[in-house]
C-alpha cells in the first residue's frame, strides 16, 4: 500500500503509482501536489520515468526513525531554519505571547490525538506511552509537577495574556487547519500512522536536534538563565526542552517497531510529511498571533 503525502488517498499499489498520481495532477495544475513536488523533489520538471526514480529514492529507507529525523531536520532546521525557530533563539515578548495562545489549541488537540491513538490499538506499550504523555502534557502530577499546558498558561500570564483570554480565543486559520488534520490523521488512520503524525513533531524541541545535523537548537539555552525572558517562560521552555527528548525518541522507536510489523512504513512516511506541512503553517501562526497581540501586524 502507498499513501499520498498530500491528499492522503491510499493506493493499493506501489511507489510507481504514487509517482504517476503526482505526474497526472501536476498536468492538471493541482497546486497542493505541485507545491509538494517543488519542496521535496525539486522545481525542475522531468519525465514520468525519472519522477518515479526520484520517488523511489526519496521514500527508500532502512530505518523509518532515521528517515523521519532526517526529513524533519531538513525542513525545520535546514538552511535557513524555520522563521519561528530563528525568532525563538532570543525571543521577544510577542513571540512568546503568540506561542502561549496558539499552543493552547495545539495541546488541546494533542491529548485528543493521544487518546485516539490509544483507542486504535491493543498494544499496551503504546497505550502506556500515550497515557504518560497525556498526564505530562495536560493533567500534571500534583502541585510539584504542573502539566506542560499549565506551564504554558503561566507563561502567558507572566507576559500579560490571561488564561481567560487564551481559553476564549479561537485558533488562527492555520492552527485550525492543522488541528483538523491532526485530529483526522490520529483518529481515522492506524495507530502507528497517528503516532508518526503527532510524535515526530516533538523533535522540534529535542535537545538532540543538533546531533542530527541542525545548526541550532530550538532556542539558545542561555535564555533560561540570563533573565531575558520571564521566569515562567523559562520554566515552560526548560520543562519542554528536557521532557520532549524522551517523548520523541521513545515514540520514534515505537513507530519504527510497529510500522515494520504492520508493513505500513510508506503510509507512515506520508502522514509524517502531511503533518510537518501543517506544522510549518502552525509555527507561522504562532508568529502571526504574536504580531496581532503586539499590534505589529503590517
Partner 1 sequence: MKTNNSEGCALCNATWGEYWREIDGENMPFCCNICADIFQEMVRRVKENTGWDKIDYINLEGNYSKGRNCTATNGDRKYSYYFRTYSDGKFITFEER
Q: Which residues bind partner 1 (CB under 8 A)?
A: 26-27, 29-31, 34-35, 37-39, 43-45, 78, 80, 82-83, 173-174, 277, 280-281, 284, 287-288, 298
Residue by residue, DSSP assigns 27-75 as: HTT-HHHHHHIIIII-SS---HHHHHHHHHHHH--S-HHHHHHHHHHHH
The alpha-carbon radius of gyration of the chain (Å, integer) is 19
Would you call 294 helix, strand, or coil by DSSP?
Answer: coil
- Quick check: 82 and 280 in contact, CB under 8 A? yes
Q: How far is the CB of 204 from partner 1 (least distance, A)?
A: 15
Q: How far is the CB of 159 from partner 1 (least distance, A)?
A: 21
For partner 1, give the closer residue by CB, 88 or 234. Answer: 88
Angle between helices 231-262 and 265-293 (to 10 degrees): 160
Q: How far is the CB of 167 from partner 1 (least distance, A)?
A: 25
Cell numbers that stand for 249 in this block: 525518541
Q: How far is the CB of 199 from partner 1 (least distance, A)?
A: 22
Cell numbers that stand for 200 in this block: 515526530
For partner 1, give the closer residue by CB, 87 or 232. Answer: 87
E strand or H helix that includes residue 246 = helix 231-262
- Quick check: 48 and 23 in contact, CB under 8 A? yes
Residue by residue, DSSP assigns 178-212 as: HHHHHHHHHHHS-HHHHHHHHHGGGGGG-GGGGTT
For partner 1, give the closer residue by CB, 258 or 279. Answer: 279
Which residues have a Cβ under 8 Å from the Cβ of 128 and sit 6 or more positions away? none
For partner 1, give the closer residue by CB, 48 or 162. Answer: 48
For partner 1, give the closer residue by CB, 65 or 105. Answer: 105
For partner 1, give the closer residue by CB, 109 or 175. Answer: 175
Q: How far is the CB of 148 from partner 1 (least distance, A)?
A: 26
Cell numbers that stand for 71 in this block: 526529513
For partner 1, give the closer residue by CB, 157 or 280. Answer: 280
Amino acid at each position: 500500500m502507498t499513501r499520498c503525502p498530500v491528499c492522503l488517498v491510499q493506493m493499493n499499489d506501489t511507489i510507481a503509482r504514487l509517482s504517476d498520481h503526482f505526474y497526472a495532477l501536476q498536468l492538471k495544475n493541482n497546486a497542493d501536489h505541485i507545491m509538494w513536488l517543488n519542496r521535496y523533489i525539486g522545481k525542475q520538471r522531468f519525465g514520468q520515468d525519472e519522477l518515479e526514480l526520484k520517488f523511489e529514492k526519496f521514500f527508500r529507507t532502512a530505518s523509518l526513525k532515521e528517515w523521519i529525523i532526517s526529513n524533519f531536520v531538513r525542513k525545520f532546521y535546514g538552511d535557513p531554519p524555520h522563521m519561528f525557530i530563528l525568532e525563538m533563539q532570543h525571543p521577544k515578548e510577542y513571540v512568546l505571547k503568540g506561542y502561549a495562545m496558539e499552543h493552547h489549541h495545539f495541546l488541546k488537540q494533542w491529548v485528543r490525538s493521544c487518546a485516539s491513538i490509544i483507542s486504535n490499538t491493543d498494544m499496551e506499550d503504546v497505550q502506556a506511552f500515550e497515557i504518560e504523555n497525556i498526564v505530562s502534557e495536560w493533567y500534571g502530577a500534583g502541585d510539584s509537577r504542573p502539566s506542560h499546558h499549565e506551564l504554558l498558561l503561566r507563561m502567558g500570564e507572566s507576559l500579560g495574556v490571561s488564561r481567560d483570554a487564551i481559553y476564549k480565543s479561537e485558533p488562527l486559520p492555520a492552527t485550525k487547519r492543522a488541528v483538523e488534520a491532526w485530529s483526522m490523521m490520529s483518529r481515522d488512520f492506524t495507530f502507528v500512522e497517528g503516532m508518526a503524525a503527532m510524535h515526530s513533531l516533538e523533535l522540534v524541541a529535542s535537545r538532540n536536534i543538533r546531533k542530527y545535523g541542525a545548526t541550532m537548537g530550538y532556542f539558545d539555552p542561555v535564555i533560561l538563565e540570563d533573565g531575558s525572558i520571564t521566569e515562567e517562560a523559562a520554566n515552560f521552555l526548560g520543562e519542554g526542552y528536557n521532557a520532549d527528548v524522551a517523548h520523541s525518541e521513545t515514540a520514534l522507536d515505537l513507530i519504527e517497531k510497529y510500522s515494520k510489523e504492520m508493513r505500513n512504513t510508506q503510509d507512515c512516511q506520508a502522514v509524517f510529511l502531511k503533518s510537518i506541512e501543517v506544522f510549518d503553517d502552525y509555527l507561522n501562526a504562532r508568529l502571526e498571533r504574536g504580531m496581532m497581540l503586539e499590534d505589529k501586524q503590517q
